[in-house]
Amino acid sequence: MTADYEITIGLEIHCELKTKSKIFCSCPNTFGGEPNTHCCPVCSGFPGVLPVLNKTAVEYTVKAGLALGCDISRYSKWDRKNYFYPDLPKAWQTSQYDLPLCRGGGVAFKGADGEDKFVRLNRIHLEEDAGKLIHEGGVTRVDYNRCGVPLMEIVTEPDLHSPEDAVAFLTELKNILKYTGVSDVKMQEGSLRCDVNLSVARKGGPLGTRTETKNLNSFRSVLRSCKYEAERQIELLESGGEVVQETRRWDDAAGEGSGMRGKENAHDYRYFPEPDLMPVVMSDEDIERIRATIPALKQQRIDKYTAEYNLSDYDAALITADVAIADLFDGTVAEGANPKKAANFIMGDVMRLAKEPGSEDVNIKITPAQLSAMLSLVEQGVVSLVAVQKEIFPKVWGTDADPAAVVDKLGLRQSNDTAEIEAAVKEIMAANEKVVNDYRSGNTKVVSFFVGQVMKATKGKANPKVVNEVLSRLLKG
């Protein structure tokens, strides 16, 4: 039955920009804080105040648009979207209606079925975020700290056809946005949120009526709400019913969606031009100046890693999965580390500590200089790789410690002193004549016994390379 239907999904993605101040006032744009402490008369909607546009918010939106292949508008303007809700004290949201900053563009990604796919973007516009309602103890309070935070809205065409692909697309979009550096894109902090428009239709038929599920804040809830809504619509149609165009909410704890209100249309908002803000005019030079600030994106880095550093496609993909990791890798190589050794250490040891439990994000707490210093200590034979992995790296993580100082503090410096190692070997050989004879009569496996004894005698500090060399020389007799 489900197989007779095609699912169609279009997304509206809201992304908070990481500017220092808010979009129309100089209040700080920082996550959290005591409620209503990052507010002023402008972002609290007092009458008679005037907005002043934060140019960085415009530049960040254009930067994201360029990274996503959009056409940048040479002329765009601001509009008031009027509605009443307690999280928006002005009773209108300053947004962009008919002349947004960016149009077109799109995202190429690997679908959940392994196929190469492309989702077209319809537009990207800039607007102000609203406050946050906090429901607790039977009352509702409002925190206006988020009011006026610059919010970029990315609207896709209805090009997605499965819940899994919606997540694969979002993963790639989030990755690109994080590379550009315009947003933290942290779904759990609300800096990336998504509305899902979904319809079902008989295969080959015209598009069905869609519903819009608001404010999903994790990939998991996007996936589950899409599945839920597709099934609900198909069951409705199969039982002779009709899908009503409406706005819905998703209850993640209960795992179910519910209708919120009939879908409003553009005219319900009585959009009209914002009289207090000048239109935004962009010259070709402005656009090129912004384009020059876009760092190397994922594919560019994959190409470089495989061609110049001979990393496998698999390793290159892992390292570029998050820009924070790719930046750590680039920085470590720039400090002089061997790319393959840096890659191995990052993929194993760094990733283990950097993955935040229960989150899609990584948190890197080591600098390229520290990482390259650790690898160079191994390279120079000062410490073993195992000692770095087990002892030094965990102590350096999250601190500004110099790895060489940690080595000394822990007394982990390897001994390359051949004379000292020879003396230890001779002593052990004298005390274990029988085993020496075993070795000399052909049982060379017993060498591991001697390695163990030497390491014990030197408290694990003897360089294994030197130990092996001395042993094979002296045991031969």
Chain contacts with ligand ADP (rule: CB under 6 A): 8-12, 155-158, 197-199, 207, 210, 266
27 binds, among ligand ADP, Zn ion, none (CB under 5 to 8 A by kind): Zn ion
Whether residue 374 contacts residue 412, with contact meaning beta carbons closer than 8 Å, is answered with no
**Amino acid (1-letter code) at residue 8:** T
- Each residue of 65-83: b (16+ CB within 10 Å) or e? bbbbebebbeebbbbbbee
CB of 146 to Zn ion, least distance (A): 11
CB of 11 to ligand ADP, least distance (A): 6
CB of 247 to ligand ADP, least distance (A): 10
CA atoms within a 13 Å half-sphere pointing along the CA-CB vector of 205: 12
Q: Which is nearer to ligand ADP, 206 or 411 (CB)?
A: 206
CB of 208 to ligand ADP, least distance (A): 6
- Distances in Å between the Cα of 242 and the Cα atoms of 2, 10, 234 are 16, 20, 10
27 lies in the binding site for Zn ion (CB under 5 A): yes
Q: Which is nearer to ligand ADP, 69 or 331 (CB)?
A: 69
C-alpha 477/C-alpha 61 separation (Å) is 75
The contacts of residue 204 (CB under 8 Å, 6+ apart) are none
157 binds, among ligand ADP, Zn ion, none (CB under 5 to 8 A by kind): ligand ADP
134 binds, among ligand ADP, Zn ion, none (CB under 5 to 8 A by kind): none
25 lies in the binding site for Zn ion (CB under 5 A): yes
CB of 38 to Zn ion, least distance (A): 7
If 0-12 CB within 10 Å is exposed, 13-18 middle and 19+ buried, where does residue 48 land? Answer: exposed
Residue indicated by tokens 């085993």: 435
**Amino acid (1-letter code) at residue 334:** A
Residue choice 4, 31, 40, 304 for contact with Zn ion (CB under 5 A):
40
C-alpha 193/C-alpha 12 separation (Å) is 9
25 binds, among ligand ADP, Zn ion, none (CB under 5 to 8 A by kind): Zn ion
Q: Which is nearer to ligand ADP, 62 or 198 (CB)?
A: 198
277 binds, among Zn ion, ligand ADP, none (CB under 5 to 8 A by kind): none
Stretch of residues binding Zn ion (CB under 5 A), selected from 38-46, 251-259, 275-283, 373-381: 38-46
Q: Which is nearer to ligand ADP, 26 or 245 (CB)?
A: 245
Name the closest residue to ligand ADP (Cβ): 10
- Termini Cα distance of the chain: 81
170 binds, among ligand ADP, Zn ion, none (CB under 5 to 8 A by kind): none
C-alpha 406/C-alpha 394 separation (Å) is 10
Q: Which is nearer to ligand ADP, 213 or 372 (CB)?
A: 213
Considering Cα of 342, then 343, then 347, then 351, what sign does the dihedral take? positive
CB of 90 to Zn ion, least distance (A): 12
Q: Which is nearer to ligand ADP, 77 or 301 (CB)?
A: 77
207 binds, among ligand ADP, Zn ion, none (CB under 5 to 8 A by kind): ligand ADP
CA atoms within a 13 Å half-sphere pointing along the CA-CB vector of 16: 25
C-alpha 413/C-alpha 383 separation (Å) is 6
C-alpha 192/C-alpha 194 separation (Å) is 7
- Distances in Å between the Cα of 188 and the Cα atoms of 128, 133, 184 are 20, 16, 11
Binding to Zn ion, residues 43-72 (CB under 5 A): 43
335 binds, among Zn ion, ligand ADP, none (CB under 5 to 8 A by kind): none
Q: Which is nearer to ligand ADP, 215 or 363 (CB)?
A: 215
- Positions in the binding site for Zn ion (CB under 5 A): 25, 27, 40, 42-43
